[in-house]
Chain A
Amino acid sequence: MEHLIDIALLGLLMITGFAIVRVRSLLAVAMLTSIYSLLSASLFVVLDAVDVALTEAAIGAGISTILMLATVALTTDEEKAPRHTPLLPLVVVIATGAALIYGTLDMPHYGDPEAPVHQHVAPTYLHDTPGEIGVPNVVTSVLASYRGYDTLGEVTVIFTAGAGVLALLGYRTRRRNITGPGIRKLVVLRVIAKLFFPLILLFALYVQFHGDYGPGGGFQAGVIFATGFILYALAFGLGNSQRVIPHQLLRIMMAVGVLIYAAVGIESMLLGGKFLEYRVLADDPITGQHLGIMLIELGIGITVAAVILIIYYGFVSRRH
């Protein structure tokens, strides 16, 4: 049964992929990309990657689509036909694809428990997590503790992206709200947005602090938190959203998150451990791990939420 869902979802993904290439209206393409992301998020649930599915649904289907729509609004909706014949690219693509398919022929089969990828460090992580880290979600323990260095790098990448978009698009304060009169008439949208806004923020906090026990964590929570404010800005205008979270605050938050993460590392060095060795943070190693993971997840959440809102403000405050 699981296998059938897998086959069907991959088939749908392929159809959506072809549609994205063929369709000329960029507005339609942005929506198709959102469907593509949502389909892959569903596939990740079938493949047991619940944390990944949550991230993909929030980022791929949510934020990326909003950014694409914002770009289409600032540029043009119509894609012109290419001037060259697509023959050469087609040959290149088919040749590359054939070579890659040839490469898969001696790969371990789908679901094979004997595959080399399952023999290396993964069994250690699964075996040691309950005793060493004490959190049930192994994805969180690997992300935040065993491979904490990597994650610090990722958070820095996010910070850099925020700084990059800030440098490219800048930011202008808007006193006036730029929602058109059309949106003001959509009473249902405004009521629903108002009702959902606190619930989305509450759910973000749940995902943030329940990430040790179930799917979730700082990355997902940060995105969901930002989504709440984006929904609010869409329905009530950018100006109102900025009165709640002003741009200056976001710029500080963006750096504070990374600094919290790095500070936890330095604190554990000061207490006699290695960089990001959380077990020295408290008397009991397990409590130390819990404390360390909670603090760095908080840092991740703050940076991710701030960067996404900065990117969104950057795109939306740009005049056509």
Chain B
Amino acid sequence: MHDVIHDLLGLYNYWIVIILMMTGFYTVIARPNLIKKVIGLFIFQTSVFILFISMAKVEGGTAPIIKEGISVYSNPLPHVLILTAIVVSLATTALGLALVVRIQEAYGTTNEDDIHVQDEED
């Protein structure tokens, strides 16, 4: 019993990350609205950030800024990777939303089902 609780606490972060990831994935594949799809991607991206940062945490550690008298720091490398990934996520979100705006202007809708209907009529 003690082992189960130990595992549950130790893996809790990863499991929530997976639930969030799947929430985003579901939004991308099941929702027809294009803005909602971009937001689904955004949720997915952020859950990956949480996964990396959870792995970087060291029990009893502190932020990786060197200071006298502190010996345990969390791992700085995932922080660096995710810091730049967040900026790239802005780049992808902005490009995705710009495409949505252009699709709205060309088709008059942001609903995937309506776009398919219009494409088949042509």
Contacts and interface: CB of A to CB of B under 8 A. Distances in A.
Nearest to A310: B94
Interface in A66-125: 67-68, 70-72, 74-76, 79-80, 82-83, 86, 89-90, 92-94, 96-97, 100-101, 104-105, 107, 109-113, 115, 117-118, 121-122, 125
Most buried by A among B12, B56, B97, B104: B97
Contact of B77 (A96, A100, A125, A213): A125
B54 A47 contact: yes
A139 to B, nearest CB: 5
Contact of A55 (B78, B87, B97): B87
A187 interface: no
B117 to A, nearest CB: 10
Nearest to B91: A161
B46 A168 contact: no
A96 B25 contact: yes
Interface string B64-104: 11110000111111111011101111111111011111101
Given A26-B36, A55-B83, A113 B58 contact: yes
A79 B84 contact: no
Interface residues of chain B: helix, strand, loop or mixed (majority): helix
B101 A169 contact: yes
Contacts of A76: 104, 109-110
Contacts of B101: 71, 74-75, 168-169, 315, 318
A36 B77 CA distance: 24
Nearest to B90: A59
Interface stretch (A5-13, A177-185, A201-209, A274-282): A5-13
Given A74-B101, A147-B80, A33 B39 contact: yes
Number of contact residues on B: which range applies?
A: 35 or more
Interface string A42-78: 0110011111100110011001100110111011100
A258 to B, nearest CB: 14
Interface stretch (A14-22, A242-250, A260-268, A289-297): A14-22
Interface in B1-48: 6-7, 9-16, 18-27, 29-33, 35-36, 38-40, 42-43, 46
Interface in A135-194: 136-139, 142-143, 147, 150-151, 154, 157-158, 160-161, 164-165, 168-169
A17 B24 contact: yes
Contacts of B90: 59, 63-64, 161, 308
A285 B62 CA distance: 28
B39 A40 contact: no
Interface of A: 3, 6-7, 10-11, 13-14, 17-18, 20-21, 26, 29-30, 33, 36-37, 40, 43-44, 47-52, 55-56, 59-60, 63-64, 67-68, 70-72, 74-76, 79-80, 82-83, 86, 89-90, 92-94, 96-97, 100-101, 104-105, 107, 109-113, 115, 117-118, 121-122, 125-126, 129-130, 136-139, 142-143, 147, 150-151, 154, 157-158, 160-161, 164-165, 168-169, 213-215, 219, 304, 307-308, 311, 314-315, 318
Instruction: Give the top 5 A-B pairs by smallest Cβ distance, nearest first.
Output: A109-B10, A161-B91, A111-B59, A89-B30, A48-B74
13 contacts: A29-B35, A33-B43, A44-B49, A48-B58, A48-B62, A93-B25, A110-B13, A136-B66, A143-B84, A154-B88, A169-B98, A215-B65, A219-B87
